[in-house]
Amino acid sequence: MPVPAGKGYGCDPRSPAVVSGPGVTRRQAGYLRQSDARLFHAPFTAERVARLDADIGLAEQTETFSSRFSRLQDMLGHKFLPALLTALSEPPAPFVDHLDRAERLGWIRSSEAWLHMRAIRNQMVHPYMEDPLLLSDALNAAHAFVPDLLTTAESLVREVERRFGTEERFKEQHAPHADPKITVRKD
Amino acid sequence: MRLTEEQIAQIRQTVCEEAGSQSRVWLFGSRVDDTARGGDVDLLVEQDTDIDQPVSLMARLTVRISRAMGGRKVDIVLSAPNLREMPIHASARREGIRL
């Protein structure tokens, strides 16, 4: 089922099953790579930020980069990672514990770096971002994290492929209470 | 103010290490209100010299202070000569508590 851009499934515990996985991750990673290459052919200076009001094309590219960066990061950290850990029979845990686990498994560079990247994402979309210097600095900081984000995306996708083979098999495993011993088939 | 002595000491220490010993820090927002409960930790960090990469500094402060406070949400606002002065800076200085 297609998911509207930027919309989540709220409190539905099955949301990871719907909106994360290798397919959507590879697509979103590809979109971010494109936006990143297009926007950062040159460093994002405060002068370029000053042009945003007049240059609609540049404003749209900036907006697109910012939302693709945020969306991929949110999807990986809050959906794909918990879904993968559930599929590997890990008990539910707070976000930071998931990050620590992902660090030990080599899927992310470090918990610290991930949290840092998330803080940059929050700054980039912050309502007080009216200072051109802060906005250009946030965009450049996010740009510097793009390789990290794409590497994590690839690590999680490879892990799913290695352990489960297909996306369908993975989704069966990380649905809540996916234990075949207790799942009642309805078909 | 709803911060423990230990939390204040940790905030001061972290700000000193990341932003330098000359920087000043204020607590503002709902944590100043003794009658409120929970809530984010809003901090204004001010210094008299330009900050080269302000967003990375904000991110480092946010991550370290949030971790020191058991994962509480932390919001940092920076003030420096090279950053634009916003209404939030003035209200943080006026209504906040210097740590």
> Does residue A103 lie within any of the structural domains?
yes
**Which residue range is the domain that position A141 belongs to?**
17-174
CA of residue B61 relative to chain centroid, distance = 8
A84: closest CA among A12, A155, A4? A155
Q: Does B83 touch chain A (CB under 8 A)?
A: yes
Quote the pLDDT of residue A176. Answer: 54
Query: B20-57, pLDDT tens digit by residue?
Result: 889 999 999 888 877 777 778 899 999 999 999 999 99
Confidence at A19, pLDDT banded by 50, 70, 90: low
- CA B77, B45, A100, A89 dihedral sign is negative
CA torsion A3-A5-A11-A16 (nearest 10°) is 60
Q: Give DSSP secondary structure letters for B82-99.
A: TS---HHHHHHHHHSEE-
d(C-alpha A16, C-alpha A96), whole Å:
17
> Does residue A131 lie within any of the structural domains?
yes
> Does residue A187 lie within any of the structural domains?
no
Interface predicted TM-score (ipTM) of this complex, two decimals = 0.84
d(C-alpha A23, C-alpha B93), whole Å:
49
d(C-alpha B73, C-alpha A18), whole Å:
28
Q: Does B35 touch chain A (CB under 8 A)?
A: no
Q: Give DSSP secondary structure letters for B40-78.
A: -EEEEEE-SS--SSHHHHHHHHHHHHHHHTTT--EEEEE
B39 to chain A nearest CA, in Å? 17
Structural domain count, chain A: 1
B44: closest CA among B94, B10, B3? B94
Q: Contact A123/B55, CB-based, under 8 Å? A: yes
> Does residue A140 lie within any of the structural domains?
yes
Q: Does A137 touch chain B (CB under 8 A)?
A: yes
Which fold is adopted by the domain B5-98? Beta Polymerase; domain 2 (3.30.460)
Q: Does A63 touch chain B (CB under 8 A)?
A: no
A187 to chain B nearest CA, in Å? 43
> Does residue A85 lie within any of the structural domains?
yes
Q: For the whole model, what pTM was predicted? A: 0.82
Query: A41-100, pLDDT tens digit by residue?
Result: 988 888 888 888 899 999 899 999 999 999 999 999 999 999 899 888 888 888 889 999
Q: Contact B58/A123, CB-based, under 8 Å? A: yes
How far from A187 is each of A86, A183, A184, CA to CA, in Å?
24, 12, 9
> Does residue A110 lie within any of the structural domains?
yes
> Does residue A183 lie within any of the structural domains?
no
- Which residue type occupies A76? L
For residue B27, what is the DSSP state? E
